Amino acid sequence: MTDRVDLDVPAKRRLNEKALHEGTVLQSFAFDEVHRHLYALQVRRGGIGAGNLCLNQLDYDGELLGHMHLQGFGHGVSMGVQNAADGTVWIWTEAEAKGGYGQAVTRFRFAPGATRTVDDVNTRKPIPGSTNNQPTVCMASKRIAVRYRRKGKPRYRVWDLDAFVHRDYDDPIADIASPTRTPTPRSPSRGTPCTATTSTNSPAPPTTPRPTRPPSSATPTSPASTSPPANCSSACAPRPAAPSPTASRRASPSATGPGRASTSASRRARPAPAGSPLYAKPLP
């Protein structure tokens, strides 16, 4: 499989606002391109802890053709459709739910209106010691991938589909660690947080002193929250807002009572110079 997705081609909405059997959100979906069917998984109402799922079958226009219930299978994180050589359509999902997530994988045939439990299917545990097994299938490459966790860390393992069907798990094609999430200026909590520390044996980094201001009870002061933490660089600190010229003009020269700043005091309240630690450097 050498063709790649052309990201320069405009996206086209395929289906929108199509009703599924349950009143819950869609978890995952897969296409049966041979029979032009779409399968969609959702957690059943009140069944999230037990791992109870609803499997929907739709046509390519989004019309619901049927559904079946999967009791104790998992969360429906991912799924796959296998078109076997004999014409059989197999649905691959997680199974053996624990804490609402499947700890194994299985395959079965779609049966409208039926209910399946884990005892009705044959389950597989291709990765000993792993948890949260979630399969997906690519019929173009004839491969199956399973997302799993080992020691709490997510990974992906890929096999030849025929080998996997025959329970030959010893020679996977690839095993890949899940990419880490990259922090962004708008979502700083994503990825690894700021872990800068200062050794107790090293001197504190030099900082530019703030400009001296004439003593005045009316001179506004900067809030303490604008100073960066001691164990973080100045890039973590927020940029303080410059004094508003409109606010300075509103202040009357005679309005020097308690709680009001005089015009001359407002003029003295200059922002700190660019070298001050109050100013944060722009993120790359």
pLDDT of 147-178, one tens digit each?
999 999 999 999 999 999 999 999 999 999 99
Helix (H/G/I), strand (E/B), else coil: 167: coil
Q: In whole angstroms, give the CA distance from residue 274 to residue 255.
A: 31
| Best CA proximity match to 208, nearest among 186, 194, 224, 227 | 227
C-alpha–C-alpha distance, residues 35 and 32, integer Å: 6
Q: Answer whether 70's CB lies under 8 Å from 93's CB.
A: yes
| Single pTM value for the model | 0.64
pLDDT class of 238 with cuts at 50, 70, 90: very low
Q: What are phi and psi of 246, to 5 degrees?
A: -65, -40
Give the side-chain half-sphere CA count within 13 A for 207. Answer: 17
Residues recorded for the chain: 284
What confidence score (pLDDT) does residue 17 get? 87
Of 7-11, 52-56, 130-134, 243-247, where does mean pLDDT reach its minimum? 243-247
Please give the Cα distance from 272 to 226 (Å, whole number): 12
pLDDT tens digits for range 9-39? 998 888 888 999 999 999 999 999 999 999 9
Q: What pLDDT is stored for residue 43 in this prediction? A: 97
H-helix segments, 102-257: 161-165, 245-250
pLDDT band, very low/low/confident/very high, at 3 (cuts 50, 70, 90): confident
Q: Which of 1-5, 56-60, 214-218 has the highest mean pLDDT?
A: 56-60
Q: Tens digits of per-residue pLDDT, 106-131? A: 999 999 999 999 999 999 999 999 99
Residue 69 has, within 13 A of its CA and on its CB side, a CA count of 13
Range with lowest mean pLDDT among 22-31, 176-185, 221-230: 221-230
Q: 42 or 270, which is more confident? A: 42
Percent of the chain's residues with pLDDT above 90: 56
Specify whether the CB–CB gap between 124 and 105 falls below 8 A: yes
